[in-house]
Structure 1
Amino acid sequence: MTATPADLLTRALDAPGEPPLRPLPPVVAELLRSLSAPPRLAAHLRAVHDVAVDLVDWVRDRYPDLAVDRDAVLFGAATHDVGKVRHPEELAGPGSAHEAAGRDLLLSRGFRPALARFAATHADWDNPAVTIEDLLVSTADKVWKDKRVAGLEDRVVRALADATRREPWEEYLALDDLLTRIGAAAAPRLAFQAAFPVHI
């Protein structure tokens, strides 16, 4: 028997994955169900959210005096590409139309602008107005598949060094070690995402 789109979406949201992937926040899983999101999108958001948990918890443990909104980072990671519901062609190819579309979609569903913004800012880390939360979402969106972006990582290092008054090289070494460990587990995450279709 062929799986229905709803079955595939449920599997993308609930299957344990290997290594096991944490579930999305319930409000996000419900949003994706209500939108009949493509299963590939749900799998991608889950993988990025899972990495974001590791990133934000590492920052909270290593930098206890740095104010970071953990819930905002996790929501941002879980919804950063939600605009691809409106632009599914960007699931399989390049494009940025999903960014503003995602922010607008979240706003139309009653989410606060402070949370909806991540859909629009996750590819805009050069903007001087981005926060540490924006940078962590952007980093999770890259390193989940073991992609390293020097300019983005430089921004994170500067934010961490400014917060701690430690030398940037110290913060770079610590961040590099974390991202290397996260990136080493990219293959199973990529396989999990690839197991779900872009279109039904």
Structure 2
Amino acid sequence: MADTLLSRAMTGAVDPPLLPLPDRVVELLSELSSPARLAAHLRAVHDVAHQLVDWVELRCPAVRFDREAVLFGAATHDVGKTLHVSELSGPGAAHEEAGQALLQRHGVSPELARFAATHASWGRQQVGLEDLLVSLADKVWKNKRVPELEDLVVARLTEATGRAAWEEFMALDEFLAGIGDGADERLAFQSSFPVHG
């Protein structure tokens, strides 16, 4: 039963339609006996990250960033919650550093494992556009808007495109509002899976 739930959370046909998690992540979460709720969360954030990177590439083709790193980071950012399951339903940051170390122990490069630690610390350190996009996906999937984070993304886009900041802000704001429209369905999908077993 648990394997079926985990498999459905990671790759099954669901409503709303969400992209399945990448094979490498499916293997990792299966090996770690991930809670199905965590897999569902990672899938929702990964799907939103896909939308974000597609939008950035279309709107700002001059912006250079590692698309695959963003997608992997979104799909694994909370993997440390396999070790700190209480943080699936309550506050806590122990999963961040633990997730980074866990990924590295499983052969993930430090460049990709970093998202487990940086997804919540974008305001405390200088991070790249990839880190900001993972953080943004982790917020907007549930329609949580964080102006400071969005301002950092706008600044990076403005720097790359040469367009006015207000122009980038308006475009990003409209795009994120559209993503936010699907938040209730994504939250219901995540909530349909148990935190334990």
After superposition, the C-alpha distances for 1:4-29 in whole angstroms (9 at most, x for unaligned) are 22121111112222220001111001
Q: 1:187 aligns with which of 178, 184, 187?
A: 184
After superposition, the C-alpha distances for 1:153-189 in whole angstroms (9 at most, x for unaligned) are 1110111111111111000000001000000011110
- Aligned residue in 2 for 1:117: 114
- Aligned residue in 1 for 2:170: 173
1:136 maps to 2:133: yes
Q: 2:43 aligns with which of 36, 43, 46?
A: 46
Q: C-alpha separation between the residues in 2 aligned to 1:79 and 1:27? A: 10
TM-score by length of 2: 0.98
Identity fraction in percent: 61
Query: How far did 1:124 drift?
Result: 1.0
After superposition, the C-alpha distances for 1:38-66 in whole angstroms (9 at most, x for unaligned) are 00000000000000000011101111111
TM-score by length of 1: 0.97
- Aligned residue in 2 for 1:58: 55
- Aligned residue in 2 for 1:17: 14
1:85 maps to 2:82: yes
- Aligned residue in 2 for 1:197: 194
Aligned positions, number: 197
Q: C-alpha separation between the residues in 1 aligned to 2:13 and 2:135? A: 24
Q: 2:5 aligns with which of 2, 8, 32?
A: 8
CA-atom RMSD, angstroms?
0.8
Q: C-alpha separation between the residues in 1 aligned to 2:117 and 2:5? A: 27
- Partner letter of residue 93 of structure 1? G
5+ residue gaps, structure 1, are: none
- Aligned residue in 2 for 1:161: 158
Q: C-alpha separation between the residues in 2 aligned to 1:81 and 1:148? A: 19
SS of structure 2 residue aligned to 1:125: coil
- Aligned residue in 1 for 2:68: 71
- Partner letter of residue 192 of structure 2? A
Query: How far did 1:128 drift?
Result: 4.2
After superposition, the C-alpha distances for 1:53-94 in whole angstroms (9 at most, x for unaligned) are 000111011111111111000000000000000000000000
Q: C-alpha separation between the residues in 1 aligned to 2:54 and 2:65? A: 10
SS of structure 1 residue aligned to 2:193: coil
Q: C-alpha separation between the residues in 2 aligned to 1:121 and 1:175? A: 22
